[in-house]
């Protein structure tokens, strides 16, 4: 079951749409459920909602999966470069021009406004061990940032094809200055066909391996996955859904 409705996104003083997956028997039971927050929520469940006409197919996966869970998908802004700004926690001299990211404000809203609302509205397990986060590209960056800076809130992160090449220095510094809960799990993935040029592919490999190594040294449980033939698109990210969901939530690959 997918519920869709708008909520107030205070950092931009605008509404944002939520796409929320509830287990099929949610209203026929009194069970409580873990929650995974995910960026670009419109791309998660239905092809008809997805920006490029192809979703991650997560609803079909979850309907057949053995673990029952709630997914809270946050739809991004579709105005100009607002998505890049709101899903970036650092300054970035991007392909679209200089961006002073407001990702910290986005995460404050998610952790301290949206999450309490979800925990009040639905039957959730609200503790960090039952709370995860995930996304791709800029959403993958934000998920990694959340696992680092909001480790007291999120115990699991799916960082898929993360846009981390421009902010590796800042992320490594953030990892170095913080302590982590030892049960923290971070899934790091990238596709072999994403970057195009040999130099781009080398950078993608190096960035993810660097994050993996720095997290491991701090006692985090990282898992790296290089998707052979993987491109920067929902069709290939869909293939990774069983991998990161099974590893993050069921401790298996």
> Read out DSSP for 96-163?
TEEEE--HHHHHHHIIIIIHHHHHHHS-B--SGGGEEEEEETHHHHHHHHHHHHTTTT-SEEEEES--
Residue 46's SS3 state is coil
Task: Look at residue 3 in the predicted model and tell me its pLDDT.
Answer: 98
pTM of this prediction exceeds 0.75: yes
- Tell me how far apart the alpha carbons of residues 118 and 108 are, in angstroms, rounded to a whole number: 15
3-state secondary structure of 18: strand
Q: How far apart are CA 71 and CA 132, in angstroms?
A: 9
If one counts every other C-beta atom within 10 angstroms of the C-beta of residue 195, the result is 17
How many C-beta atoms lie closer than 10 Å to residue 80's C-beta? 9
Question: Taking a C-beta distance cutoff of 8 angstroms, is the pair 162, 227 a contact?
Answer: no
pLDDT tens per residue across all 253 residues of the chain: 999 999 999 999 999 999 999 999 999 999 999 999 999 999 999 999 999 999 999 999 999 999 999 999 999 999 999 999 999 999 988 777 888 999 999 999 999 999 999 999 999 999 999 999 999 999 999 999 999 999 999 999 999 999 999 999 999 999 999 999 999 999 999 999 987 777 877 888 999 999 999 999 999 999 999 999 999 999 999 999 999 999 999 999 8
Terminal Cα distance for the chain, rounded: 26
> Strands 70-74 and 91-94, how do they pair?
unpaired
3-state helix, strand, coil in the chain (%, to 5): 40, 25, 35
Within 10 A of 59 (CB to CB), how many other CB atoms are there? 17
- ∠ Cα 171 172 176 (to 5°): 120
The domain spans of the chain are 2-250
Beta strands in the chain (DSSP E): 2-9, 14-21, 35-39, 70-74, 91-94, 97-100, 131-136, 156-160, 185-191, 221-227
Domain 2-250, what architecture?
3-Layer(aba) Sandwich (3.40)
Residue pair 225/243 in contact (Cβ under 8 Å)? The answer is: yes
**228: buried, middle or exposed (CB in 10 Å: 19+, 13-18, 0-12)?**
exposed
Contact 137, 247 (CB under 8 A): no
Cβ atoms of 249 and 34 closer than 8 Å: yes
């Amino acid at each position: 079951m997918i519920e869709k409705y708008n909520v107030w996104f205070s950092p931009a003083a605008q509404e944002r749409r939520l796409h929320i997956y509830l287990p099929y028997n949610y209203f026929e039971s009194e069970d409580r459920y873990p929650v995974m927050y995910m960026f670009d929520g419109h791309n998660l469940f239905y092809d008809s909602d997805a920006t490029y006409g192809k979703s991650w197919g997560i609803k079909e996966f979850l309907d057949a999966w053995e673990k029952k869970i709630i997914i809270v998908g946050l739809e991004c802004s579709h105005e100009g470069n607002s998505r890049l700004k709101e899903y970036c926690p650092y300054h970035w001299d991007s392909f679209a021009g200089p961006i002073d990211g407001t990702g910290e404000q986005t995460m404050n809203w998610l952790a301290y406004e949206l999450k309490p609302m979800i925990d009040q509205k639905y039957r959730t397990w609200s503790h960090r061990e039952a709370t995860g986060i995930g996304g791709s590209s800029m959403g993958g960056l934000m998920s990694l940032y959340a696992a680092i800076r909001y480790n007291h809130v999120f115990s699991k992160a799916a960082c898929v094809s993360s846009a981390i090449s421009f902010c590796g220095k800042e992320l490594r510094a953030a990892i170095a200055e913080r302590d982590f809960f030892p049960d923290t799990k971070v899934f790091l993935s990238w596709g072999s066909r994403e970057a195009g040029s040999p130099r781009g592919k080398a950078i993608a490999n190096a960035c993810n391996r660097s994050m993996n190594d720095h997290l491991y040294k701090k006692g985090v449980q990282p898992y790296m996955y290089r998707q052979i033939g993987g491109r920067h698109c929902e069709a290939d990210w869909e293939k990774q859904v069983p991998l990161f969901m099974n590893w993050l939530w069921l401790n298996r690959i």
